[in-house]
Chain A
């Protein structure tokens, strides 16, 4: 599913690298607030859904090869986080909806989890 469509599904604003949203195709989604978990489970090319908004999230994404991050629930995203994403070329999306709802909507769209499990 194209990132641009995902942004629509989640009512998300694209904060960085808008030029990439038509090109990135997402098949796998992972959601976590534990960066240690992300390091453990992430698949390259996966979309990360997280409630954290620190620049650390972006750096973690960069390390494991995550091209796009959706920050959910938080009202704002700090400028340092946006700058980090810009510098590392990671698409940053921001959606005010809760993580549960965000995951539910993506699940409905038949996006797979890291184990490739979905009915």
Chain B
């Protein structure tokens, strides 16, 4: 694959664009925005900026509508020319460039480079009220958050995903998966939440009997338990647990044919859950399942389509030189 590196980079950039371009201003902005009235003095604006450690502040009338903006630069000029005690309205920038809350990331970035300002107020286009503010730092942190949830797929992964029958291919290695060769198989054929965990418990027993070290077994069991619980709570269908034991790793695959995950990115977020109340009363549905699975495993891939179920594949490295008794 060495020859086509730039080509792959293009593909990657295109994919990233697709993921980031539809981010809207209201997802990026900082909503705890400080504003000041035009009848206050520049001295007061300076104090506000100093206390809140900000470099600019939108000026709003009594109805909250944007009328101007004051930046550190205005303050410096006021200090140099000795009008710091003048009212803000006299010196503020009145033609403020602002961002519509529905504006997309690409246009916002473009605004930053075109005007060279440090911040843009975000307005509701109808009321003209300031609902937030965007600095470059806000953009950076939004992108980082998105990246955290993104699995950048390599070529191998693309090959896997382009093949239609995901059910016969390993999501992690791309190899053909002979499920009949699984070392452990369990059918999740119940929908009673009170039974969830039986499969994981059996897998735990099995792995211990195979002499796998306790720490690894524990990780596998926890992650499998979470996956099994997800099938029972969310899939509204049955599922299957497969486990393959190799010399240096354990692979667990949990599949169902249920309703699928609507928004994988949300589902990966800590604390996000769509679990019904009765499930929460049993102590589940904290929105930690996928997070915990990721934490326990060394590699995890989740593939899901609405109406077509979920496949989770997890890889656990077996510690070399671990006690195999």
Chain A positions within 8 Å of B, measured between CB atoms, are 32-40, 44, 50, 52, 54-57, 59-60, 62-65, 80, 88
Q: Does B242 contact A (CB under 8 A)?
A: no
Q: Are A34 and B286 within 8 A (Cβ)?
A: yes
By beta carbon, the residue of chain A nearest B287 is: A36
Contact (Cβ within 8 A) A56 B288: no
Q: How large is the interface on B (under 10, 10 to 19, 20 to 34, 35 or more residues)?
A: 20 to 34
Asked if A40 contacts B194 (CB within 8 A), the reply is no
A36 & B292 in contact (Cβ 8 Å cutoff): yes
Q: How far is the CA of A36 from the CA of B279 in the complex (A)?
A: 11
> How many pairs, one residue from A and one from B, have CB atoms within 8 Å of each other in the complex?
72
Considering the chains assembled together, what is the distance between the CA atoms of A31 and B286 in angstroms? Answer: 16
Which of B51-59, B163-171, B197-205 binds A? B197-205
Do A36 and B194 have beta carbons less than 8 Å apart?
Answer: no
Cα A54 to Cα B225 with chains together (Å):
16
For A35, the chain B residues whose CB sits under 8 A away are 282-284
B197: chain A residues at CB < 8 Å are 56, 59-60, 62-63
Interchain CA distance A94-B214 in the complex, whole Å:
28
Q: Is the CB of B221 within 8 A of A63?
A: yes
Are A44 and B204 touching (Cβ within 8 A)?
no
Out of A32, A50, A60, which one reaches B225, CB within 8 Å?
A60
B289 touches A36 (CB 8 A): yes
Asked if B222 is at the interface (CB within 8 A of a chain A CB), the reply is yes
- B284: chain A residues at CB < 8 Å are 34-36, 56
B218 close to A56 (CB less than 8 A): no
Are A80 and B288 in contact (CB-based, < 8 A)?
no
> B225, A40: Cβ atoms under 8 Å?
no
Shortest Cβ gap from A38 to chain B (Å) = 8
